[in-house]
Structure 1
C-alpha cells in the first residue's frame, strides 16, 4: 500500500475501488458498443453498406490463426510451426468478424450472393466483392475502433 493510500480514509478507498470497478465495466462494454457505418461507393453510387465494430486482441489472433497454415518441423520432434499466412484471407476474416452480427447475416451471409458469385462463405464473398483498397480502408476503420492509432497520451487522459 502506498503512503497516500495509507493516509486515505477507508470510505475514500472504497469509493475509489468502486470508481475503478465502474470504469473497468464501462471500458469492457464500450468495446462492442461503438460501431461505424461503412459504405461501399463506386462511381458515386452507394452499392451497399454495413456496420463494423472494434475487435478484441483475441479476435485479431483468431483471424490470424485461421489464415495461417502450419507444418510439422521434424527437427523439433514434429511440432507444428507456422508456415505461411494468407494475408488476403486474414484481411477478409477481420472484416467478417468485425461486421455487426445483424449486418454480417444480411450482407456476408447472403446465400443468393454466394450462389451467384460462386463462393462458399462470408469471408470468400468479401474477397470477391471488395477491392484491395476498399478492404484496406475498412480495416483502417476497424483498427481505429479497436484502439490502434490512438495517441497514448489521449488514451491515458480518457
Structure 2
C-alpha cells in the first residue's frame, strides 16, 4: 500500500482493517537517523517491512500485572527485524539509507488451546504469527537528521490442522 506525507512516498503500510486476533501486541518504533551526507535537501521515499526472526514461549506466573494485564501463564516472545530504506536527495545526488532495526515484543497467550499447552503448540507449528505495519511517519528534522515513527501490530492465532 502506498501513501504519502509531505510528498514523501510511503511504502510498506498494510491494510489492517480485517485483522482478527485475540492475541496481539501493538507498538510504535521511533528512530532518529543521523546521516553522514551533508545538507540533505529532501526525503523522497521510505520503505519498511518486518521479518519475524525468531519466536519462543516464556512461562510466566498466573497473576494480574501492575498494569492490569492478566498473565495466563505464557507469553510469546517475538523477535522482529524491521528493514527500512530511505531514499533522499543531497547536493543533486540520490542517496539511500538502509537500516535494520531489531525489536522484541511479547504477546500474552492463554494457558492452553484445545487442551494443548502453548509450548507444544509452538513446537508443532500450530501458532501462526503475523506482523503488519499500520503506519509510517518520516520527516527531515535537520539537514542530516531523519526522524521515523513506525506503528505496527504482531498477531498470534492458532491453527487446527
TM value normalised by structure 1? 0.24
Between Structure 1 and Structure 2, the one with more strand by share is 2
Higher relative contact order (CA 8 A, sep 6+): 2
Larger radius of gyration: 1
User: When you count helix as a share of all residues, which structure comes out higher?
Assistant: 1
